[in-house]
Every structure is written in structure tokens, then in C-alpha cells.
Amino acid sequence: MATSVNIATILPALEQLTAEGLRDQFEQEGPTYTMFGTASAPFVNGKGWRIPSYLRPPTGVSGISEGGSFAQPSTETLDDMYVSPMNMTMAFELTGRALRNVNDSSSLLNGFKDLLEKRTIALKKEANRQMFNDGSGLRATYQSNSSGVLTLQNAIDNAAGASFGTTKGGMHMEVNESYDWYDSTLATYRATIRPSARSAKTVTIPSGAVPAGQTAGDILILSNSLYKMPRGLAYIVNNDTGIYQLQSRATYPQLRAVVEDLNNAAITVSTFSKVKRNLIARAGAGKAKTVVAVLSLAQDDALCRLGQNFKRWDGDAKTFDGSFDKFQHGDTIEKIDPDCDEDRIYLIVPSEVKRYKEKEFGLFDEDGNQIRMRAGIAGYGSDAWTGAIGVFHNFGSEEPRCHALIKRCNMTGLASQVSANL
């Protein structure tokens, strides 16, 4: 039997590991959610981070005759927007037996490091998926059921939907994760499911767990997460008439982004040209020229294919290269993200999207403990120890009209997360 190790002896090292190692790992460059700078704004309880907004100019401009009167002026419209605090979390647990059989403090710390690194990687992946979400936590759109094998809408079998989340099949779901099943409007909860298997297009659950009344277009979201998660590009880059950061896009159309709906036509260079000119009309030439195209594997594939017929034999080369490595439109460069919806291209001004942080990524230790005894069923404690890691943050933009979305691009025969995993 190994020497018992007290958890308290490793807590200082564990705190340092989280602050200096795992936080850097979570925030390292690469994922789309790390593209954006951190904002500083006053926090108002019950609402969130306050963004002072100049929504309408003053009026009262007129031409007057000799000796005439000036027009009655009106004040400009100033109305605050608010970015609500959201979060992403993940718990962990160790049994007392595992702790009692650790040889020394160093071994225990190494074990914790391995455990926390795996959970950080898993949380990073979900955080990046969430960057293309509207805050609902959607991970798949249901199509049909065959004895508990759920076929999910995907880039191969389905045309792109008007909304996000219809192209990934089962690729944004995980085995043993819990998901809430809602109708397409997210108004009616149907069931909670837990997949036992996953493929590119399907997940498998017990046939008896399939809820009555299920309909193609139903939505699967991370359990207990409906509109509690950070709002990503699907929320910010939108031209709907709903509420945006507690202001109405119907009342203030300038809070809408430029959106080009291709209705399943193929993406072209002229589409980029048109959208960028619409951005100039909405936001001004300066900002329209600083966009980054965040796009899926499918649309990168489609754009690179546009130039293949123009590739020619180069000098006395002995090897024919008929491909292009990347697409660029003027000074707009692309950022490929496999987690982006396969039918979508977001044209983003990175400086106009901010990350609002309430709690840096790390251990939940507001009670002074990084690890604590699990309460147990009766509430008297247990022979298990638990903790949690996570981040409290959200994304917002003062000027959503600086961004654009090209959606429902054709996906037929293109590379995608689904096609790569068949």
C-alpha cells in the first residue's frame, strides 16, 4: 500500500499549474475564439458589460431664406448595449482510493496535470465550436431515426439550411455527453439523450430514448446549456430583426450585419466583391478593407478550385502542379476553421469583436478550495473529491455592421468534416 498523500500539500503547485500552464494552453493562438482582443467595460449587475452606443445622429439640418428661422433641433440617440456574462465549465473527480494509492506528492501532481490537460483540450474544442454558435449551445440538427440510430443533417445529404448548425452531422457531438432535444424553435423540450456511439452522420442512443413527436429540424444542444453559453459569430454577424445586446435590430437597422444568402449556389469571386462593396456602403471603406474571411474547409475547397483552370506550366519545370494552396481576395486573407459551418463564410474585422471576461480560465476556487470533498447523496460527504475548470466570458461587437456573412453556399462534392470521417 502506498503512502497516503494529503491534497493540501499539492494545492500551491496545482494553482500555479492552472495559472501558468493550462490557461496559456486554453488561450494559445489557433482557435477562432482567440482571434479577438479583451475589452474593458463597466459591469452592471443584472445586465452585463455596458457598451455606450451612438445609434442615431442629431437632426435639424435645414436651408433657410433671408432672415428665416432655423429648424428645431433634436438630440442624438444614445442608448447602451449590454454583453451578458456567459460561461463554459467542466468538472472532474477523483476517488479516495486513487488518492490513497499515490506514492508521493509529485506523482499526485503529475496525475492531476494529465487529468486537467485532457479536460482543457476538451473544453477548448467546445469553446471553438461555440464560436460559430448563437449562445444556444446547438451541436446538431436532427433528420431521422432508425431504431435509435439518429441521422443528423450534414453537408453531404442535406442542402444548407437558412440557420447555422445544419452541416456537421454528428461531428460536433461526443460519445457519453448529455444533450437536450428541442423542437426547431427551441420552445419545446423533448428529452435528454446520451449517445453511446457516433459516426460522421449519426449518433446512436437506446431506441426507447427517442422522444415521441420528433421532427426533422429538431435541435440537439449541450444539456442544461440553452442560451447560457458564449455568443459567437452566428449571433454577432446576423441581419435578423431580433434583440442584439439588449437593443432591437428592428428599431436600429445599423446593428445588422451584411448578409448574402446564396440559396445553395456556388461561391464565386464576384460574390466576395459584391459583399465587400456592401460592407463599404454600410461601414466605410477603411473598415471594409481590414476583414478576415473565417471559413469552412468546404468553402476553402470551393474557392481554391476556382483558380485551377488558370494554373499553367511554369518555365522548364518537370513537375506539374495544378493546385492552389490558398485563396485571397485583395487584402482580405482567409482563416480556415474546420469547426465553421460548411456553408458559411464570415468576413470579420477582428478589432471590432471583443472578448468580455468575468473570470479567467482556471479552477473554480471562490470558496478557497481548488478541490473539495463531494457532498454525497445524503449530504454528509463521500470518498470522492471533485473540482471544476472553466471560463466566464462572452463576445460582443459595438459595430456589427462592420462584419458580413455569406451563407448557404453550395457544398456538393466539397471537402468537409463529415466527408473526412466517413
Is residue 3 scored above 50 in pLDDT? Answer: no
| Residues 347 and 282: beta-carbon distance below 8 Å | no
Q: Residue 2's pLDDT is what?
A: 46
The mean pLDDT of 158-174, rounded to a whole number, is 93
The answer to whether the beta carbons of residues 85 and 48 sit under 8 Å apart is yes
Nearest 10 degrees: Cα torsion 222, 44, 51, 347: -10
**Average pLDDT of span 270-292:** 83
What number of residues does the chain have? 422
Name the more confident of 270 and 102.
270
Task: Kindly report, residue by residue over 206-225, the tens digit of the pLDDT.
Answer: 999 999 999 999 999 999 99
> For the chain, what is the largest distance between any 2 Cα atoms, rounded to a whole number of angstroms?
102
The label of the residue with cell 494554373 reads 311
Name 412's Cβ contacts closer than 8 Å, sequence gap at least 6.
none
How much is the average pLDDT of 223-229? Answer: 96
Distance (Å, whole) CA 374 – CA 397: 40
Quote the pTM value: 0.87
Model confidence at 55: pLDDT above 90: no
Average pLDDT over residues 237-263: 93
pLDDT at residue 78, as a whole number: 78
| pLDDT(288) > 60 | yes
Quick one: pLDDT band at residue 330, thresholds 50, 70, 90? confident
- pLDDT confidence tier of residue 185, bands split at 50, 70 and 90: very high
Asked if pLDDT for residue 191 goes beyond 80, the answer is yes
Q: Quick one: cell of 185?
A: 424553435
pLDDT at 1: 43
Q: What is the pLDDT of residue 310?
A: 52
Q: What percent of the chain has pLDDT over 70?
A: 85
Cα separations (Å) of 152 from 3, 149, 202, 326?
Answer: 51, 10, 6, 30
In terms of C-beta density within 10 A (0-12 exposed, 13-18 middle, 19 or more buried), how is residue 89 classed? Answer: middle
Q: Does the pLDDT of residue 80 top 80, yes or no?
A: yes
Tell me: pLDDT of 151 over 50.
yes
Three-state DSSP at 398 gives: coil
With 90 as the cut, is the pLDDT of residue 242 above it?
yes
Higher pLDDT, 46 or 14: 46
> How buried is residue 329: exposed, middle or buried, by Cβ count under 10 Å (0-12/13-18/19+)?
middle
Choose the most confident range, by mean pLDDT, from 58-62, 151-155, 368-372.
Answer: 151-155
Distances (CA, A) of 386 to 91, 176, 215, 376, 421: 7, 19, 39, 11, 35
Reported as a single tens digit per residue, the pLDDT across 170-179 is: 999 999 999 9
pLDDT at 101 over 90: no
Paired with 389 in beta bridges are: 90, 363
| Mean pLDDT, residues 354-361 | 90
Cell match 422522444: residue?
211
Least confident of 56-65, 166-175, 313-322, 401-410: 313-322
Mean pLDDT over the full length of the chain: 86
- Please tell me whether residue 285 adopts helix, strand or coil conformation: helix
- What does the alpha-carbon distance between residue 396 and residue 404 come to, in Å, rounded to a whole number? 15
Residues facing 43 on adjacent strands: 49
Distance of alpha carbon 238 from alpha carbon 257, whole angstroms: 5
Mean pLDDT is lowest, of 195-199, 228-232, 326-330, 406-410, for 326-330
